[in-house]
């Protein structure tokens, strides 16, 4: 993957790349995600340290992309790829903004475990960026009239919960909306694509609704 990293720090959608196409949010995430999974399962801090410079370039690219557009018009890509037939895709700018914050969350963990001498600086840099962007995510994508994020899709409620950007006073309401849509409206089924499914399961488990996640998984 690093051999195919672009000069601007971005990653392609596939390796080897097929043409000169900028990688999409939630697809480029594979790079830090693979490193984090290697660390999680094998405790390989040296691998993370060896990738330090490439990671810094990747997060420089994300930082630059954010400052060009903000979250409301952030880079899109494929969105919540392939929801079940008949259900709409979650808003693509929402999905791109999620990828940004999700990568920052990963980066904080990665640099926090790295033995590289400059890892603490990078972790602090990303923590500061996360603190700035998290309130913006809520302000941009929460619909105060309807009381849900965006149009109310399962993915659009689950991802803010996973990221931890939902204000404390709204967490119970957003979780209830998500659970009601899964259990009552959809009778235990998902309306999410491949991104939303993964993080919806994690959000439900994090908020002590593993029972809903299990029921959803077996449908």
The predicted structure's pLDDT at residue 187: 93
In the chain, what are the domains? Answer: 2-217 (1.50.10.10)
The predicted structure's pLDDT at residue 81: 94
The predicted structure's pLDDT at residue 76: 87
The predicted structure's pLDDT at residue 70: 94
- Give this prediction's pTM: 0.93
The predicted structure's pLDDT at residue 22: 77
CB 83 within 8 A of CB 91: no
Report residue 210 as tokens. 């593993």
The predicted structure's pLDDT at residue 145: 96
Sequence-ordered alpha helix ranges (H) in 80-193: 92-113, 119-141, 154-163, 168-180
Going residue by residue through the chain (219 aa), what tens digit of pLDDT does each one get? 899 999 999 999 988 887 777 788 999 999 999 999 999 999 888 999 999 999 999 999 999 999 999 999 998 889 999 999 999 999 999 999 999 999 999 999 999 999 999 999 999 999 999 999 999 999 999 999 999 999 999 999 999 999 999 999 999 999 999 999 999 999 999 999 999 999 999 999 999 999 999 998 887
The predicted structure's pLDDT at residue 157: 98
How far is 215 from 164, CA to CA, in rounded Å? 24
- With a CB cutoff of 8 Å and minimum separation 6, the contacts of 199 are 102, 155, 158, 159, 162
Q: How far is CA 161 from the centre of its chain?
A: 11
């Amino acid at each position: 993957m690093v051999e195919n990293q672009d000069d601007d720090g971005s990653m392609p959608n596939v390796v080897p790349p097929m043409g000169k196409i900028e990688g999409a949010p939630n697809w480029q995430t594979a790079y830090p995600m693979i490193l984090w999974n290697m660390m999680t399962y094998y405790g390989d801090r040296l691998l993370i340290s060896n990738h330090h410079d490439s990671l810094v370039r990747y997060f420089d690219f994300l930082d630059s992309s954010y400052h060009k557009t903000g979250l409301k018009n952030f880079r899109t890509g494929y969105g919540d790829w392939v929801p079940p037939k008949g259900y709409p895709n979650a808003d693509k700018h929402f999905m791109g903004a999620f990828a940004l914050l999700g990568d920052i969350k990963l980066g904080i963990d990665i640099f926090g475990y790295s033995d590289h001498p400059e890892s603490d600086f990078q972790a602090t840099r990303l923590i500061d960026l996360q603190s700035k962007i998290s309130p913006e995510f809520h302000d941009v994508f929460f619909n105060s009239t309807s009381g849900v994020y965006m149009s109310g899709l399962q993915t659009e409620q689950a991802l803010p919960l996973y990221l931890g950007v939902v204000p404390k006073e709204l967490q119970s309401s957003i979780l209830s909306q998500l659970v009601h849509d899964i259990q009552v409206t959809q009778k235990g089924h998902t309306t999410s694509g491949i991104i939303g499914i993964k993080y919806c399961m994690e959000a439900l488990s994090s908020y002590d609704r593993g029972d809903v996640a299990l029921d959803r998984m077996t449908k």
